[in-house]
Amino acid sequence: MTSVVADFVQEYKNKRWIYARNAPATARICDEMLQAELLPGVVTHRTKEPSSLERKLLQRESLRGQLYPSKEAIQDEISDLAGVRIAVCFPQDIERVQDALCERFDIELKKSYGAVGTNNIGWETSNNILQRPGYCATHCWVYLRDDEPQARDGLRRRRVEVQIVSMLRHAWSQFEHDAVYKAQSKLNTEDRQILHSLSGAIHRGERLLNYMSENEEVRHLSTDLLFEMVYEVGCLVADVVKQETRARGTAKPLEEFLRHLKRARPKPLSGSIAKARL
């Protein structure tokens, strides 16, 4: 291992606690954001394992045929030391999540990966960076704003990479990352073909989900079932008041409904919840 890579990995080990602090802080804001926007989804977070970081840096040096000139060069390039993943139910909500992120964080970069139909079965390189065929996600480099206590490490702002995917693509990516990318598995041609075909099937499934999310009849099939998500309550209220946009992206109809019940503020509402002994 080169001295620059070794020094960077050691420094990361010493300061990993900072990333381990920023990742959950960012995830908390993202989770609050989904609830405020009435978007069904799941938020997870993690920090990069030092061994994985070391392997990634050495692999990139090998592919490029040149060494990193400095630790600063590595810091500028590696964005996922702290990471958050937002998996949304409906793929069409990804753009809404991006817009919501811009309102809650300082964004340095937004980039989409893996348009289905352009990924080849084998592993390839682009700009001397190893590619992951079938991987589809939008990555945003975000910074906590200065009113957040975890925003700075001294004078330096630590960025967090937020990945936005659909839940179907999240499941595919998790398997591909653990079994292929992380474990460096050597899949034969048939296995690679299966994995690639599954990626295409997921793309078709995402299109169906988008269709179903806009289908009024499908959305109302479960009207006699118990609520399972806060999102369902908000959508029901928005539908009843016949908001043209179903108030997607705002909690206004739900707020007005609670105000009508004189429960629009946290204090009286929490009192009612406590009495219900939920």
| Domains in the chain with CATH codes | 4-264 (3.30.460.10)
Least confident of 111-115, 230-234, 248-252: 248-252
Share of the chain above pLDDT 70, in %: 62
- β-pair partners for 142: 107, 160
Q: Which residue matches tokens 């004078």?
A: 155
In this predicted model, which residue has the larger pLDDT, 112 or 182?
112
| Number of Cβ atoms within 10 Å of the Cβ of 234 | 25
The pLDDT of residue 69 is 92
- Mean pLDDT along residues 119-138: 52
Q: Which amino acid is at 218?
A: V
Beta bridge partners of 126: 129
For helices 189-214 and 167-175, angle between their N-to-C axes, nearest 10 degrees: 160
Structure tokens at 273: 């919840």
pLDDT score of 235: 62
Of 85, 104, 105, 86, which Cα lies nearest the Cα of 158?
A: 105
- How far is the C-alpha of 172 from the C-alpha of 168, rounded, in Å? 7
Whole-model pTM? 0.67
Which residues lie below 8 Å from residue 107, measured CB to CB, with a gap of 6+?
101, 140, 141, 142, 143
Give the pLDDT band of residue 124 (cuts 50, 70, 90).
very low
Pairing of strands 82-88, 160-166: parallel
By mean pLDDT, which of 13-27, 60-74, 85-99, 195-209 is the weakest?
A: 195-209
Q: Is the pLDDT of residue 116 over 60?
A: no
d(CA 212, CA 222): 13
Q: What is the mean pLDDT of residues 211-231?
A: 56
Distance separating alpha carbons of residues 100 and 82, to the nearest angstrom: 20
Residue that wins the pLDDT comparison between 181 and 222: 181
Sign of CA dihedral 187, 191, 193, 194: negative
pLDDT tier for residue 118 given thresholds of 50, 70 and 90: very low
